[in-house]
Amino acid sequence: MNFAAISTEIFILGMGLFAIVMDLVLPEEESRKSIGGVLIFALSGWFLYMFTLYHGAINPLEPASMAALTDRFFYQGLYLVDNYALFFKQLFILATVFTLLFASDYVQSVLRYRGEFYALLLLALLGMCVLASATDFLTVFLGLELMTISFYVLTGARMGSKDSSEAAVKYLIVGSVSTAVLLYGISLVYGAVGRIQFLEVCRSPHLFFPLGIAGITLVLIGFFFKLSVIPFHMWAPDVYQGAPTPITAMLAMGSKAAGIAAMMRVLFVAFPLLGLYWLPMLAVLCALCMIFGNIMAMRQKDVKRMLAYSSIAQAGYMMVGIVAADADGMKAVMFYAMLYVFANVGAFAALAVVEAQKGDTSHRAVSGLARSAPVLAAVMTISLLSMAGIPPTAGFAGKLYLFTAVVDQGFLWLAFVGFVMSMISVYYYLLVAKAMYLGRWDGSKLEISGAVRAAVVLSVLATVVVGVWPEKLAELTNLAANTFLR
């Protein structure tokens, strides 16, 4: 047992327990913002420390560098902390830090159980980190469940809101069924192979028996449910709309990226050969996501629900990189996941302020936002343009990497679909901008606290800087992508 390998997880668990204890110790009438503040500082410190944990490129033919990789296993191939896992963990921690920054006011004014919000958010983060590192089906299952069960509770955290409890029940039922399907698939794979470690599963010839193939199908369907890939998406819009806005943001940024991280490892490490046979089908699902996600998003009157459909489309874009199935594609997926975090923080921070002070997030509620809170309107516009992939923003660089990677592999039609659909998506993103800038202003002013201002300014800065100068992030993603695909 190499406990140094799981220092990040131990740290996050410690911070989660710290939040629970502080919530009990602090007097009832005291604000819980201080807990959030401590968590933000601790997590951002750890985020910076994690840059030192990356290892250099590993050459499988060289025993010394293979030994370095073996040191990164926690216990008998259950859990591996390689560059790929480190990158995704940094992404999750960054997403959580941003969410904590813009959520502190929302939590204070809207939610009833505030300390629990922080503790559960950290436990969900822990689940995501476990998913990124899992190299064994048991660990995948535990990480997935830790993350989703925390999210069931957080989705229902808005006491007294019927939408929130309805969303939580829908999420729980669909989530549990998908867990059962995933687990059934795992049991069939175990039956075919007799092992659950990825590195042993991929070596077994029995995987090609009908039992193994049925197992792989069910495992993939389980993942598609979690990623809300069309046609397994029906829970996503309701859950996104009903959940408290910071949790919607975490679902869109963290939960989706964690699902993609685990799915890529399962596809390319556990089922490398069979995984490749799946790529044409994956390409079709990807195109369906991009087409229907964008078309359904156009019809929405509620901005949160619109973002839910747009996140289905974004999952489609990210899967384009998986279809490419090489290091370039993986690099593009990671790059896109990172800039999607920045774009989401901008959009959801603005929505959280609107929801906390006006009560809902319809187009009517955001109309005139350019007068009532000019900063938020500007940030939201830039973030939405980044999601659409308009040039000076990071979204353009991300889509460029994704589509060039997939064109190199011969899926020209997929890149074409993606290109056309991102043009179409500009329409509904700009509808929000139109409501904010040209809509009727009711004369009210929104209050923006320093924390929200910091979150939105940092996220927009990151969006623009990565868009103009993507080199550093691209180098980091290159390093991370070279871990298991070459």
Partner 1 sequence: MTIGLTHYLLLAAVLFAIGMFGVLSKRNIIAILMGIELMLNAVNINLIAFNRFLPVHDLSGQLMALFAIAVGVAEVAVGIALAFRIFYDRETINVDELNRMKG
Q: Which residues bind partner 1 (CB under 8 A)?
A: 137-138, 141-142, 145, 149, 152-153, 156, 160, 162-163, 165-170, 172-173, 176-177, 179-181, 183-184, 186-188, 190-191, 194-196, 237-238, 241-242, 299-301, 305
**To the nearest whole angstrom, how small is the minimum distance from the Cβ of residue 56 to partner 1?**
33
Question: Residues 163, 241: contact at Cβ < 8 Å?
Answer: yes
User: Which CB, 162 or 445, lies closer to partner 1?
Assistant: 162
Sign of CA dihedral 114, 117, 122, 123: positive
**To the nearest whole angstrom, how small is the minimum distance from the Cβ of residue 299 to partner 1?**
7
User: Which CB, 98 or 117, lies closer to partner 1?
Assistant: 117
User: Which CB, 4 or 177, lies closer to partner 1?
Assistant: 177
End-to-end distance of the chain based on CA atoms, in angstroms? 29
Residue 30 gets which letter from DSSP? S
User: Which CB, 54 or 190, lies closer to partner 1?
Assistant: 190
- Backbone angles phi and psi of 197, in degrees to 5: -75, 135
- Backbone angles phi and psi of 136, in degrees to 5: -165, 140
- C-alpha dist (Å) from residue 135 to 13, 123, 366: 20, 20, 44
Measuring CA to CA, which residue among 286, 307, 296, 312 is closest to residue 415? Answer: 286
**To the nearest whole angstrom, how small is the minimum distance from the Cβ of residue 412 to partner 1?**
34
**To the nearest whole angstrom, how small is the minimum distance from the Cβ of residue 376 to partner 1?**
25
**To the nearest whole angstrom, how small is the minimum distance from the Cβ of residue 312 to partner 1?**
13
- CA–CA distance, 335 with 477 (Å, rounded to integer): 6
**To the nearest whole angstrom, how small is the minimum distance from the Cβ of residue 431 to partner 1?**
15
- Residue 296 half-sphere exposure toward CB, CA atoms < 13 A: 20
User: Which CB, 168 or 382, lies closer to partner 1?
Assistant: 168
Question: Residues 254, 227: contact at Cβ < 8 Å?
Answer: no
User: Would you give the distance in Å from CA 300 to the centre of its chain?
Assistant: 22
User: Which CB, 142 or 274, lies closer to partner 1?
Assistant: 142
User: Which CB, 171 or 403, lies closer to partner 1?
Assistant: 171
Residues 6+ apart with CB under 8 A from 400: none
User: Which CB, 200 or 326, lies closer to partner 1?
Assistant: 200
**To the nearest whole angstrom, how small is the minimum distance from the Cβ of residue 191 to partner 1?**
4
Question: Residues 35, 118: contact at Cβ < 8 Å?
Answer: yes
Residues 6+ apart with CB under 8 A from 265: 84, 134, 135, 198, 484
**To the nearest whole angstrom, how small is the minimum distance from the Cβ of residue 216 to partner 1?**
15
- C-alpha dist (Å) from residue 202 to 121, 212, 213, 273: 34, 11, 13, 8
Residue 79 gets which letter from DSSP? B
User: Which CB, 190 or 437, lies closer to partner 1?
Assistant: 190
**To the nearest whole angstrom, how small is the minimum distance from the Cβ of residue 187 to partner 1?**
4
**To the nearest whole angstrom, how small is the minimum distance from the Cβ of residue 461 to partner 1?**
34
User: Which CB, 152 or 401, lies closer to partner 1?
Assistant: 152
User: Would you give the distance in Å from CA 269 to the centre of its chain?
Assistant: 21
By 3-state DSSP, what share of the chain in percent is helix, strand and coil, each rounded to 5?
80, 0, 20
